[in-house]
Structure 1
Amino acid sequence: MNARTLLKTVARAAAHRGRLCVPAAMALALAVGPGSALAAEHRAGLPACPITLPPVPSTTVQVPATAGPTGIPGATGVIDTGVCVRSAVKITATGTIAINTTRTASPWGDSTQIAGSDFPLPGVPAWSLVARIGNGPWHYIGEGPTTLVGSGELYLAVNDEFNSDNSGSFTATITPCVCDVRFGHVITGLAEGHWPGLGTPCSD
């Protein structure tokens, strides 16, 4: 059995087991050394191993219209989602809240009313969904999907300066994601290769 046939046999066996076969291929590559048509196949991305990732669990959290930092009139405190961000999270949101007896808002907020300096996050639509990681700054979320990068506990709130007359809630869905996970550049005696599909940043 020549080197090319052996490499393909290893790839098929690992694919059958549903496992990433890069380590086995690396060992084989180091064993056969440089040269031959195998080097060209290595650079082309062989072995073509299937990448099976487990489903990422999501967390659903209710964000009352009164959720906001203490100190704002009527605010009942920010919402601790219980999600500890390791690298990044993707957030989507739905729902409608009442700002007063005549006005409502979606998680996008109201683009005709820009938050002033007395809001948790000035300069973005008022009454929108905002989030922060740990003690970091607030970020505009809207309906998303919006990705936040950082490390720490995730908090959500409504971007309002007066929560006393608010009612209703948003529903936020939080999905942890792994950003920039790469197998890296594998240096062997054959060539330097990169396995695509392992470096996709979290995005919609």
Structure 2
Amino acid sequence: MKNPMTLPRRHMLAGSAAALSALGLAGWTGVARAQAAATPKPLPGYAGWKSANALIVHSGSTLETRRAAFGTSVITPSNQLYVRNNLPAPDAAVLENRDAWTVSIEGVKSPRALSLAELKTLGIDTVATVLQCSGNGRGFFPSKPSGTPWTVGAAGCVVWSGVPLRNVVAALGGLVDGMAYVTGTGGEKLPEGVDPLTVLVERSVPLKA
């Protein structure tokens, strides 16, 4: 066996990198094992159809996908996908007539409300894209910030189907001059005593995107 002091520098560097990689892998493996060993908590009623063994229940409104549940698939199954709600889940009765749900479109030449049934007639596209909570990984921060202590499970790659916004805009006569951004705002009724400004979450996207 050679004295490590006589090894070529490139071998020393390679060995150090391998050691660091092994340490990193061991750290992630430790997290996965700890999550897998934990006894699953009961899921909240609205999420009862999801896989309890695949999720970490942080609270009634935050469920995290266990690292071990991701497997090797590109797509995260919906029954294993994390949940992050700002408000309590609505009553299950809202699912009884989904085609009656409506969305109001403004900033177009013929602004109006469209039902889900009407939207379905405008052409459906399907895409796979990542959904992630901005707090993903927060549990590893040394500063221990407030909020859900997510590890790596507040993210997933999901298959989405819906109507392209360009189709909706075209059906309503095109954009009004001067429009530069798209912003979506939830229209559901808030629980009594909730100040809308305390739960407001909006993200504007440039129209050119």
Same fold (TM over 0.5): no
Higher RCO (C-alpha 8 Å, min separation 6) = 1
- Please identify which structure carries the higher helix content: 2
* Structure with the greater alpha carbon radius of gyration: 1
